[in-house]
Amino acid sequence: MGFKMGIVGLPNVGKSTLFNALTRTAAAQAANFPFCTIEPNVGEVAVPDARLDKLAAIATSKQIIPTRMTFVDIAGLVKGASKGEGLGNQFLANIREVDAIAHVLRCFEDGDVTHVEGRVDPVADAETIETELMLADLESIEKRRANLVRKLKGNDKEAQQQDRLLAAAQAAIEDGKPARVVEVDAEDAKAWRMLQLLTTKPVLYVCNVSEEEAAAGNAHSEAVAEMAAAQGNAHVIISARIEEEISQLEDEEAEMFLGEMGLDEPGLDRLIRAGYQLLHLETYFTVGPKEARAWTIRQGTMAPQAAGVIHGDFEKGFIRAETIAYDDYVACNGEQGAKEAGKMRAEGKSYTVKDGDVLHFLFNN
């Protein structure tokens, strides 16, 4: 299981350029006019993880299979989208389908690239999109609550729960806050997710800066960092132009280019790491002579459910998980060394899988 991240933003902020770079394709037409992205482009990328390469080298695995992540490049939004302005309705429908939002903000000055509002103010841009999402949610909530009236009169328990959660979301939005600020109890978590409100999606702000400012950022990205911290959201600094150039280079050339720009790694790596943290995801590995493979799970996943990510039968017939921590696998030079050093553990159904665990599942057919 990877996860799906929607790339959103006002027109001409560098969304499609970033998408092209991330997916190493030119599928999204990057052009200097609004709405050049009409259908949402979808691209899958391998999640970079140096640990996987290390494990494969130790086990002399013939194949390396990283876990994958999906990016969706969604049409540029404008003020009034919640009322169908621009490509508003399509934007809102597409955004419901993603797990998280990577909100690209223009943090660069360039007279040759038109800004839809005629100025560079990333905080105001973020507020424009947040406001449109809140207005769309408010309209949806009001309609849904009106449709629940008859069921509420009949004391329908499910309808009561739904109405209570919708009322909490409505109160937050009417107070000028997104629905994600609402604290939801564990027993309400599933019903809350089922509401599919736009402003419950976690947000990662992507500060698109010029090439010269990619390493340290600028005053615009600092303002975004302050806003993100105040909201409890995350932010990353990326130059879409640099990412686009790197995507065309061989690995060695890309490394040299990054060094010249004062960067340790591509922005993609930072973006994925931030996305993982945002969605509370982690990785476990399966390693053998045939293949070394990475699998994505949510933090707190129990061993049987982690096995189910590989195949449903693994979860149904789960017996135990032979487990080696990543550091132990490396220090002991593989599975045999870990066994001899007493570092392999047999874990049962109640075991919570840890990030970096190397697992071998035993199950009944």
Examine the pLDDT at 361 and tell me if it is beyond 90.
yes
Higher local confidence (pLDDT), 91 or 116: 91
Counting residues of the chain whose pLDDT is more than 90, the rounded percentage is 52
Q: pTM value? A: 0.81
Domains of the chain: 4-278 (3.40.50.300), 300-363 (3.10.20.30)
C-alpha separations of 193 from 186, 189, 356 in Å: 11, 6, 28
d(CA 188, CA 194): 10
Model confidence at 328, pLDDT cuts 50, 70, 90, reads: very high
- In this structure, of 138-152, 200-214, 237-251, 342-356, the range with the lowest mean pLDDT score is 237-251
Examine the pLDDT at 33 and tell me if it is beyond 80.
no
What value does the mean pLDDT take over residues 37-60? 82
State pLDDT tens for residues 52-111: 999 999 999 999 999 888 888 886 555 554 455 444 456 677 788 888 999 999 998 876
State pLDDT tens for residues 175-205: 999 999 999 999 999 999 999 899 999 999 9
Residue 32: the pLDDT is 38
Model confidence at 290, pLDDT cuts 50, 70, 90, reads: very high
What value does the mean pLDDT take over residues 236-245? 90
Is 281 in contact with 354 (CB distance < 8 Å)?
no
Q: Residue for token digits 């691209």?
A: 43
Task: Provide the Cα torsion 116, 120, 122, 127; round to 10°.
Answer: -50
Higher local confidence (pLDDT), 34 or 350: 350
